[in-house]
Every structure is written in structure tokens, then in C-alpha cells.
Structure 1
Amino acid sequence: MTLHKIKQALLICVTLQIGSACFTTPAEAQSFVTSEIGVGLGGANYKGELAPNYRFLNNQPAITLFYRRDLSRTFTARGGVMLSHRIADDNTIGDGVQDLPLPNYRQAELRLSLAEVSAVMEYNFFDYYDLSQKVRITPYFFAGIAGLIYNKKLTSDNPTLDELNKPFDTDLTISVPFGVGVKYALTKNWNLGLEFGTRMLFNDNLDFLTEADGKHVANPYDKDWYFYNGISISYTIWTIKCPPPYKRQPGILD
């Protein structure tokens, strides 16, 4: 009877250990993974022949939707979609404040809508998912690859450049997004984010500028760029990684 009671006690202890591992809180668990879903609002900005310098006032409304998953204490993977309804250039992008001779000569207006699908890796400088910290905040750096579909239309008021006046055209291209940001945990599940990123294109066709009457109206040695800067809110889903089910080994409790 004594041996039988010992076996029962051992079985109860093992069961309690497995149960505590599966139902403990994230702060007490030995390991867990997190996922985030979020939305961001900000501005998209074009940089190219029509706007050779980044100007904050050139931002047009943009929205982002993203999913983020931690891979380790340092790295997180993120997939997202960014949409910008229109970036319009009516020479305010190269306005009188800058007094740029080339945009003034072309007198071009650009209307641009774009949709970006991206996959990036984030490097977090601090352990953002450590719930023992009273304040959870970390700056981060990100880089990756993105596919871009964009619809554009260019018109020019310069009568000598009539060939620039073209209907709407849709193109696909690849870009390399990279930038910096900061994450701040408002609560256990809700997070606030700030981000500034740039996208390097492999072509010079975002602004639809080509030759007109044999004249070079675009710089063939300078690629187009676009930017996104904005604020985001996300929700964290905590998933506890339980140990594998207890497997009875002959000889232990026999």
C-alpha cells in the first residue's frame, strides 16, 4: 500500500507540473511567442526629378496594415500593406521657395496612386517582450524587400514638352524598404509605434518622365525614391509554448 501511495503522489506531482506550465502567465512562462496585428496612419512622399529633396509638406495621406511576429528577443518579422491614394505634384513639390529651374521649366503635374506589399526584418535594440520591465520601449531598425504597383499620370503646361502629357499608366516594380522606428507598450496588449522609412527603387519611372522631342527631361543616373512616415497602433497576442505532453516511460511508476 505504501508503494502504491508513492506512485499516486508522484503522478499527481507530474500532472501539476505540466498543468502549471500550460496555464501560467506569460511573465512566468519559460518561453512564449507573440504576434501583433496593427494599423498605421501617416504620409507617403515622392523624391525624384520633380522633387530632388525630401520635404515634409509634400506628404500625402497613406495607411498601413501589418502583421508582426517575434523570432527572438532581438528580431521580429513583419509583413505589411501600404496604400497611398494620391501624390499630386503641381509645382508645389518644387515650389517657389526652392525655385528649382528644372521643375519650373517642365511645369509638370504628377498624380500617383500606389500599393505596396512588403516583408521586412526588424532589429530591436531592447527586449521589448520582457513583461518584468515597468516601461517597455525600444528603438528598432528594419530592412527588407517590397513589391509595388503604382498608377500614374503626368501632364505639363510647357507647350514645347507636349509629349510628356500621357494618360494614366500602371506599372509594377521592386523596392528595398529600410528605416527606423520606436515601439512603446501602452498596456500588456496594446502598443504605440512611430516609424520613418524610405524605399529605394530600381527604376526611374515612378514620375513617368521620359524624353520629349529628343530632350532629356529626366536624369538617367538618379533613381526615384518614395518614403513613408507615420504612427501606428497594434494589438499583441501572447501564445504560451507548453512543454510536450508527458510520455509514460516503463519502469518509472511501475
Structure 2
Amino acid sequence: MKQFFTNTLTLALALALVSTAANAQQFSKRKQYNSVGVSLNAMNYFGDIVPKTSIPSLRFAATRPNIGINATHRFTPRISARVALAYGRITGEDSKAADRNDADARFRYHRNMNFRNDILEASAVGVFDLIANRNNYIKRPDFVPYVFAGVAVFHHNPKGLVGGANSPTQTHLVGQEGEYINLQPLQTEGQSYSLTQVSIPFGGGVRYKLNKSFDIGLEIGWRKTFTDYLDDVSGVYVDQTKLTSDAAKYFGGGITRTGDGDYPNFNAPGEMRGKGNEKDWYIVTGLNLNYILAPRVKSPKFR
């Protein structure tokens, strides 16, 4: 699966370079145009709190909404640039995602971690249309598949729920039942990480012409991040004496959790808490509606 993502990104970049060379001939500025749009999406994540600790594994019941706005400028018959701002949420819960009877998932079931993370993302991508539009926006093709790739900056803030299924009994030491606690300040693994990160967005979609001014599209995009802490889980359990608060011990796994009698010492210092060699991903899938801003046509001057 990793190879698939790598090949997809490489192909998108290669197509963009080839297209740029092929369109070296001037594309009339009168045919260039801008558009603005809104998107309504579904958001998922790949990380440590999923059914299987691999990129293809996700829990569809953990899907949450994502909304966004964007602006696009068409440069050539195939190439456009798009900037976007989006806001959404990802979630995960061991008690629902991990099977205690699965040898590979057992420790994660007993880890009993949960999180939610609200992500605000600003992105800039290049869009390569697989069908060229060599005319103006009115005569654009009715149906256009495309691929895209670029760069994004996002702000995130993982939080953990106090209480819940199979929760520790000492919740009163942490906060109110049902309260969400910011996890990054707790340093549950004795590590610090930034809440502002960079990702590589890439993917593809299809766009359909509704009328001369509106397009509707379906798009799926992966975000390769460079952090393993979207879910606040990455490495190993640490010595509880190194954790500075009851909340850190609660979410770090030091407080005995109900139902752990058949799996003693699963959270001993040095035992695996997360699969630290894998970075987290998130994925955005949804519909977008774009409105084309009709370019101004300058009237010829007669002398």
C-alpha cells in the first residue's frame, strides 16, 4: 500500500511536468479563469488506534465531517493551481477498534486509548486534468478526471476522553466524566511534539459540468504527515515516575484499567504503546461545488 501511494504521487508529478512542457505554446490569457468553491467531506485517519496498525486499516464508524473552501486558477489546458482552507475531525477508540481475541490487537485493546483531534488545514496543490480544455470556460468538457499533489500546513490538538468504555476507576483524579483533556501538554510518552505540522496532500477526483458557471466534483485525498502523534500514541510506555500529573498517568496507561487481569504488565515501562516506525495519515473524501468567475473580456479599442 505504501508503494501505491508513492507511485500515485510520482505519477501525478510526472504528468504535471510532461504537461507543462507540452503546453509551452502560449495559452491565451482570455481562456484562463478563476473559480471558488465549497466542499463537504468525510474524514478518517490511519494510525495506532485503528483495527490493524497498517495504512489500509480504518474504522468507518469513526468517520467525522470536514468542511472547506477553495480558490482555483487555471493556467493551461490541463494545469490549475488551487489553495484551500479546511476544518475537520478525526477520532479513534481502542475499545471499539481493537479485538481482544486477536493476538496482534490484544495489547491495543488493553491499552484502551481514545482520542479526537480537530484539524485546521491550509493547502496549495497543483491540479492536472486528464482531459484538456483548450477552449474558454463555457466550452469546457462536461466530465473531467484529475489528479493533484502539493503541500499543506495544519494545526491539530489531540484530546482524550475521561471515562468511557472499560475506563479506569480513578477518573476523579483526572477530570469530570465525559470531559476531553488536551493530551499534548501531558507528554504521556515523555515526548514533546508540535501542534503545527506539514503534510503532503495528493489524490484524485472527477469533475462534472452542471452549467456554464457551476461544476460539481467527487474527490479523495490522502495526507502524508511527518508526525506520529495525531492520536498521541507512538512509542513505548514510560516509567510512571517520569509523568508529572495524574492525567498523564491516566492517559499514559499507568492507572490499572478494568478487565486487564488477563494481561498483566502490558503497560510496564519499555513495553510497546504504539507502532513508532509508522507516521500517521489522514484522508479526506467528499463533494465539492465550484463557481466559475467569468473573466472580464476587454472590448477592442478603435481609433
The TM-score, its normalising length taken from structure 1, stands at: 0.74
Q: 2:97 aligns with which of 89, 94, 98?
A: 94
User: Which aligned segments of 4 or more residues in structure 1 are displaced greater than 6 angstroms?
Assistant: none
Q: 2:127 aligns with which of 119, 122, 126?
A: 122
Q: 1:223 aligns with which of 273, 279, 297?
A: 279
Shift of 1:128: 4.4
Shift of 1:55: 4.0
Shift of 1:43: 0.8
Matched, 1:183 2:246: no
The worse-fitting range, judged by mean Cα deviation, of 32-41 and 221-230 is: 32-41
Query: Residue 47 of structure 1 aligns with which residue?
Result: 46
Do the aligned partners of 1:118 and 1:144 also contact (CA within 8 Å) in 2? yes
Shift of 1:117: 0.4
Shift of 1:167: 3.5
After superposition, the Cα gap between the structure-2 partners of 1:98 and 1:206, relative to the gap in structure 1 and judged at 3 Å, is farther
| Equivalent position amino acid for 1:211 in 2 | V
Shift of 1:90: 2.6
Shift of 1:211: 3.1
Do the aligned partners of 1:129 and 1:136 also contact (CA within 8 Å) in 2? no
After superposition, the Cα gap between the structure-2 partners of 1:71 and 1:91, relative to the gap in structure 1 and judged at 3 Å, is same
| Equivalent position amino acid for 1:118 in 2 | S
Q: Any residues of structure 2 matched to 1:1-254 within 5 Å, and which?
A: 31-51=30-50, 52=53, 53-84=57-88, 86-91=89-94, 94-96=97-99, 100-128=105-133, 130=135, 131-132=138-139, 136-154=142-160, 167-168=181-182, 169=184, 171-209=195-233, 210-213=235-238, 214=269, 215-240=271-296, 242=298
Q: Distance in 2 between matches of 1:193 and 1:60?
A: 20
**SS class of match (1:31):** helix
**SS class of match (1:239):** coil
| Equivalent position amino acid for 1:117 in 2 | A
Shift of 1:203: 1.4
The worse-fitting range, judged by mean Cα deviation, of 46-55 and 138-147 is: 46-55
The TM-score, its normalising length taken from structure 2, stands at: 0.62
**SS class of match (2:157):** strand
After superposition, the Cα gap between the structure-2 partners of 1:70 and 1:58, relative to the gap in structure 1 and judged at 3 Å, is same
Number of residues paired by the alignment?
A: 213
| Equivalent position amino acid for 1:68 in 2 | T
Shift of 1:189: 0.2
| Equivalent position amino acid for 1:44 in 2 | M
Q: Distance in 2 between matches of 1:228 and 1:97?
A: 29
**SS class of match (2:32):** strand
Shift of 1:60: 0.4
Structure 2 gap segments, 5+ residues each: 1-27, 175-179, 185-193, 239-268
| Equivalent position amino acid for 2:132 in 1 | D
Identity of aligned residues (%): 26
Measured on the aligned residues, the alpha-carbon RMSD in Å equals 3.0
Structure 1 gap segments, 5+ residues each: 1-28, 249-254
Q: Distance in 2 between matches of 1:46 and 1:89?
A: 8
Shift of 1:112: 1.0
Q: Distance in 2 between matches of 1:132 and 1:167?
A: 53
**SS class of match (1:217):** coil
Shift of 1:95: 4.7
Do the aligned partners of 1:128 and 1:138 also contact (CA within 8 Å) in 2? no
Shift of 1:68: 0.8
Do the aligned partners of 1:33 and 1:238 also contact (CA within 8 Å) in 2? no
Shift of 1:204: 0.7
